[in-house]
Amino acid sequence: MSDSTVATAELPLSAAELAPYIQHTRIESDATREQMVAHAQEAATYGFNAAMVPASWVPVVAAELRGTGIGVASALDFPTVGVMTSAGKAAEAAEIARLGATQLDIGVQIGWLKSGMHREFREDIAGVVRAFGGPVKVMLELPLLTAEEKEIAVELAMEAGAAYLKNASSGQIETANPTSVRYLVDRARDGVKVKASGSIKSYQQGLELLRAGAVLLGTSAGIAIVTDTGDDSTVSY
């Protein structure tokens, strides 16, 4: 399935119509093969944009989704971001692509950014972009950055070839919110899109993020969202 673009005229969308904008996520370390196959089947059944899974499960999920048009996404330098070497990150990106992933989300070197190592920060991302060869989404961890660092991080990520800017890696960093999405949308160059991530649990929350300009939503609550059975009570933004 091709990446979706949300046009103002298309909103509001029904709950079921959010499916093409959702990256159906399952990243638990104890998930079994049976659960991963079921996860892939859910992605196909509901028509999600992609199934997001750990790199070790990419071959299984890619085989299950072959011919469906549903993407296979994975993450790198995650869930603890900025701990891999740049060479290791690039090599793993190439391997993940070989295994069948069509999209890749990556952590960034926050410590390097805060140390003023801007060239190294940019090249860490660029090495992955070159090695992977497909759309790379950069998890910027906005709440961990100062106002100045946010501006620099966004520019460096785009210079490095990021296809998507992403507010955070997970809900432990930030609950996805319209303010962060609009911040990234306002700074994105032509062709660069925005993915929202972090405790997206309900249809209403997902719709508000799309209205703010996100074109992808990363969430493990995709089924609850498209069936409008999700819980808004824990959303705080």
Among residues 89, 137, 150, 166, which one is catalytic?
166
Cα Dmax for the chain: 46
Active-site residue, selected from the candidate residues 89, 137, 193, 195 = 195
Class of domain 8-226: alpha beta
* Residue 73 Ramachandran class (φ > 0 left, ψ -120 to 50 alpha, else beta): beta
pLDDT confidence of residue 237? 39
* Short-list 137, 63, 51, CA closest to 99: 63
Predicted local distance difference test score (pLDDT) of residue 159: 98
- Annotation marks residue 114 as catalytic: no
| 231 in catalytic set | no
Assess whether 195 carries a catalytic annotation: yes
What 3-state DSSP class applies to 45?
A: helix
Among 77, 89, 105, 150, the active-site one is: 105
Report domain extents, the chain. Answer: 8-226
Distance CA 234, CA 191 (A): 33
What pLDDT is attached to residue 147?
Answer: 98
pLDDT along the chain (237 residues), means of 10: 47 88 96 98 98 98 98 94 94 98 97 98 98 98 98 98 97 94 97 96 96 97 93 52
Cα(162)–Cα(134) distance, integer angstroms:
10
